[in-house]
């Protein structure tokens, strides 16, 4: 199974997300508590990123196809992804965070930056191709929950030009 399909499967199979629409939600032009819509969205993004960074849960490979499955606060990934384009830059910046999170995989802590990488992969679609124009399944920007700090740094370096050049699209 190609790496990007595996990760998308992993993130979209979460138990509490089943049955919920996976599309993007438009932001309202109404104000809440005197805040302008852009301010509301920024506060919402900050809140969603903080929930992601404080997430507790477990990744395991108990699925029949051996793909990673997450048990915990599954909605945290979707809350960030629902922010759409405004989440992309902050998620890329968050990928520099090599501190351990409250999430584990193979009984080891998952790095916060890896969680941000997984959320970025759920927020945007990017299909890297090699020189022959074929999909590149081993692109360093695609991480598994067990990724090391070295792999995380390589993923950040791989995603930086993609984000800078807007070489991705939203689902």
pLDDT of 11 above 80: no
pTM higher than the cut 0.85? no
pLDDT of 37 above 60: no
Spatial separation of the C-alpha atoms in residues 74 and 76, rounded to whole Å: 5
Give pLDDT, residue 52.
93
Spatial separation of the C-alpha atoms in residues 130 and 113, rounded to whole Å: 26
Contact call for residues 147 and 7 (beta carbons, < 8 A): no
What's the angle, vertex CA 164, arms to CA 163 and CA 167, rounded to 5?
55
Give pLDDT, residue 30.
31
Give pLDDT, residue 19.
35
pLDDT in tens, 96-144: 999 999 999 999 999 999 999 999 999 999 999 988 999 998 899 999 9
């Amino acid at each position: 199974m190609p790496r990007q399909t595996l990760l998308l499967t992993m993130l979209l199979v979460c138990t509490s997300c089943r049955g919920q629409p996976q599309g993007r939600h438009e932001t309202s032009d109404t104000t809440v508590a005197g805040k302008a819509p852009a301010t509301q969205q920024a506060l919402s993004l900050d809140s969603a990123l903080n929930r992601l960074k404080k997430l507790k849960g477990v990744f395991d490979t108990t699925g029949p196809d051996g793909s990673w499955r997450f048990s915990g606060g599954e909605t945290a990934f979707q809350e960030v992804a629902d922010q759409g384009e405004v989440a992309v830059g902050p998620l890329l910046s968050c990928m520099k965070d090599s501190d351990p999170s409250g999430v584990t995989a193979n009984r080891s802590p998952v790095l916060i930056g890896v969680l941000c990488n997984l959320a970025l992969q759920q927020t945007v679609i990017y299909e890297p191709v090699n020189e022959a124009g074929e999909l590149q399944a081993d692109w360093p920007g695609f991480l598994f929950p067990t990724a090391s700090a070295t792999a995380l740094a390589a993923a950040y370096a791989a995603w930086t030009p993609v984000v800078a050049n807007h070489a991705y699209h939203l689902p």
